[in-house]
Amino acid sequence: MEKRVVFDGKLLPYMLLLPQLAVTLVFFYWPAGQAVWQSFLIQDAFGLSTEFVWLENYSDLLSKPEYYKSMVTTAIFSALVACLSLSLSLFLAIQADKQIRGTGAYKAFLMWPYAVAPAIAGVLWLFMFQPSLGLIAQALRSLGFDWNPLLNGNHAMTLVVMAATWKQISYNFLFFLAGLQSIPKSVIEAAAIDGAGPMRRFWTIIFPLLSPTTFFLLVVNIVYVFFDTFGIIDATTSGGPAKATETLVYKVYSDGRLGGDLGGSAAQSVILMIMVIGLTAIQFRYVERKVQY
């Protein structure tokens, strides 16, 4: 779509674009380029000399079992958070979409966790599940369950999954509700007249019509788990115990900051960048054309 009527101006449009482009080039493209360049370099321990090593950082990285472990951790984490938050919020959105009173109020009460910082969400859940004094940790202990996210990797993963899911439900809920409300009621009524029960109506009409929204949310949720959960992980488990909750992004941070391995960290960044580009491309390729609200 293009405008028919436009203004003349030779210099003005460039002036208008200048601030945005300046920030973008200096703080986005320049560092991204640096990350790519750095990923081909190896720096000695004192930072005195650097050597161009082609793909050695990558082959090093891909030969290390820790990297694959981090990939598996990220995959499990993403799958759990996406499945849990998508199914819970879809269920809630379906309830809110039934023509009942107070949908607006329910919406208001369900959407505010969106505004809570991931790190704060992590701290809230950490407090409830703190082994020695947490409310729920104690309840679990009194039931004879030895809960300890500080020592047990699976417990730590459960904790970050819960916090990440809690934070994401409101976002998914809003989009599912918008998607549901755009489905014409007449279609559903027609199916009901034909004798289709609620479950049948859901699986044959509502779910297929909602699938573009679901797919869009799936991509968004994966990107969210990859990047935005950094705060949750750092505030609750710091990637531990024994790297059980170390996602790919957390590993970039810890290898670069604590390990001082800038080349390896940069190589990881580049791999992540390729993943984001892939995910964004998928999102635009398939979603842009199909989602209708």
Residues in 60-119 that interact with another protein by CB under 8 A: 88, 91-92, 95-96, 98-100, 102, 106-119
Region binding another protein by CB under 8 A among candidate stretches 3-11, 41-49, 54-62, 73-81: 3-11
Q: Site mask, another protein, residues 250-279, x = CB under 8 A?
A: --xx--xx----x--xx--x--xx--xx--
Smallest distance, another protein to C-beta of residue 55, A: 19
Contacts of 239 (CB under 8 A, 6+ apart): 233, 245, 246, 247, 250, 251, 254
> CA 83 to CA 86: how far, in whole Å?
5
Task: Show contacts with another protein in window 118-137 (CB under 8 A).
Answer: 118-121, 123-128, 130, 132-133, 135
Tokens coding 19: 């601030």
| Complex with another protein: residue 6 or 45, whichever CB lies closer | 6
> CA 80 to CA 63: how far, in whole Å?
27
Say whether residue 175 binds another protein (CB under 8 A). Answer: yes
Reference 183, options 210, 201, 213, 204; nearest CA is: 210
Say whether residue 207 binds another protein (CB under 8 A). Answer: no
| CA Rg value for the chain | 24
How deeply is 225 buried, as exposed, middle or buried, from its count of CB atoms within 10 A (0-12, 13-18, 19+)? buried
Tell which one of 81, 159, 161, 169 touches another protein (CB under 8 A).
Answer: 169
H/E run at residue 203: none
| Whether the Cβ atoms of residue 263 and residue 42 lie closer than 8 Å to each other | yes
> CA 99 to CA 217: how far, in whole Å?
24
Smallest distance, another protein to C-beta of residue 116, A: 5
Smallest distance, another protein to C-beta of residue 70, A: 14
Q: Site mask, another protein, residues 214-243, x = CB under 8 A?
A: --x---x--x---x--xx--xx--------
Tell which one of 17, 55, 62, 79 touches another protein (CB under 8 A).
Answer: 17
Smallest distance, another protein to C-beta of residue 40, A: 13
| Size of the residue set binding another protein (CB under 8 A) | 103
How deeply is 3 buried, as exposed, middle or buried, from its count of CB atoms within 10 A (0-12, 13-18, 19+)? exposed
